[in-house]
Amino acid sequence: MLNQVKHSTFWTVFFTILSLAWIYPIFLVFYNSFKDKVYISSPHTFEPPTSKSWVGIENYTRGIERTNLIASFGWTVFVTVGAVALILVCTSMCAWWIVRVNNRFAKLIYMLFLFNMIVPFQMVMYPLSKLANMLSLDTPWGLWIVYLGFGAGLSVFMFTGVIKGLPAEIEESAMIDGASVPKTFFGIVWPMMRPSMVSVAILQTMWIWNDYLLPYLILDMKRYKTLSIAVQYLKGGYGSVDMGAMMGCLVLAMLPIIIFYLVCQKYIIAGVTAGAVKG
């Protein structure tokens, strides 16, 4: 018994230290966002703000003005909400079809979705940007379709596990009573998938909100910029960077997604656990 307590204490201390190591860079960015840009660079990077280096919210206001951060925030919200909604609706319906049809063609489609998860992005980066340009997908709403393609693999994989654990008899009873296929899915299946829906929504939101490469490759930079791209434009000529404004913008970009995750994190375990049920 004593050995078990020691073993448990060791792992608790170990993972506490490890979690602090992961969280520390966030605090580093946060308190540097209140320092003068001269005191952010080495050798003052790890020093907390002092009366000499403190500039208050000046970095934030300068960053917002230089990057037009409010517009970028609006486009980021638009892209994230639209893409996540499209992923949830399309992949949940697809997973339901795969599980309930369960023929060779459905299994082939499922394997293609799994293959989508292991193909490196670098392999499709150039043809993707070329195809998106040819199809005029270089807009925030066009980016929804691109994110749907890349986010479908994980979502379908999780949803199929959930649906396999749902009793088909309920759906059959609804159809016998005259319910149409859309009504059966959205009225019966969809509510039972709610924990996994929230879990997938959290994972996809965190990915899309923080993504830099896809918006940079697809969007028309003269008209649309997401937060991750807007921050990059704080770089000046010859590699100069306004570190103060950049730290302020990074905090503003991180804050909404951190709050979103903290509020919704309890649903992740519920969704993953539901997806592990095979039925």
Give the tokens for residue 222: 């003269």
Per-residue confidence (pLDDT) for residue 279, from 0 to 100: 43
Per-residue confidence (pLDDT) for residue 278, from 0 to 100: 47
pTM comes to 0.84
Q: Which residues contact 265 (CB under 8 A, 6 or more apart)?
A: 202
Query: Do 32 and 45 touch, CB atoms closer than 8 A?
Result: yes
Question: Please, what is the end-to-end C-alpha distance for the chain in angstroms?
Answer: 37
SS3 letters across 171-226: HHHHHHCCCCHHHHHHHHHHHHCHHHHHHHHHHHHHHHHHCCHHHHHHCCCCCCCC
Sequence ranges of the domains in the chain:
61-275
Per-residue confidence (pLDDT) for residue 88, from 0 to 100: 95
Beta bridge partners of 267: none
Give the tokens for residue 213: 């490469």
Give the pLDDT of the chain (279 residues) as one tens digit per residue. 556 666 678 888 888 888 888 888 888 888 888 888 887 877 777 877 878 888 888 889 888 888 888 899 999 999 999 999 999 999 999 999 999 998 999 999 999 998 888 888 888 888 888 888 888 888 899 999 999 988 899 999 989 988 988 888 888 888 888 888 888 888 888 988 888 888 899 889 999 999 988 998 888 888 888 988 888 877 765 557 778 888 888 899 888 888 888 887 777 666 555 544 444
Per-residue confidence (pLDDT) for residue 147, from 0 to 100: 93
Say which CATH architecture domain 61-275 belongs to: Orthogonal Bundle (1.10)
Per-residue confidence (pLDDT) for residue 8, from 0 to 100: 77
